[in-house]
Amino acid sequence: MSALLRSLLVVSVTSLLLVACGEKAAAPVEAPAPVTNPAVEAPAPVAPAAEASSGPGGYEPTAEERVPGITLDAAAVDAAATAAAPAPAAEAPAAK
Residue type, 10: V
What residue segments make up the domains of the chain, in order of their start? 1-84
Q: What's the pLDDT score for residue 91?
A: 67
DSSP string, 5-44: HHHHHHHHHHHHHHHHHSPPPPPPPPPPPPP--TTTSPPP
Q: What's the pLDDT score for residue 84?
A: 72
Q: For 8-27, how does the pLDDT look when each residue is reduced to its tens digit (9 = 90+)?
A: 999 999 988 888 887 777 77
Closest CA to 50 of 63, 38, 59, 39: 59
Q: What's the pLDDT score for residue 54?
A: 61
Three-class SS of residue 67? coil
Q: What's the pLDDT score for residue 79?
A: 83
- pLDDT beneath 50: ranges in the chain: none
- The structure's pTM equals 0.26
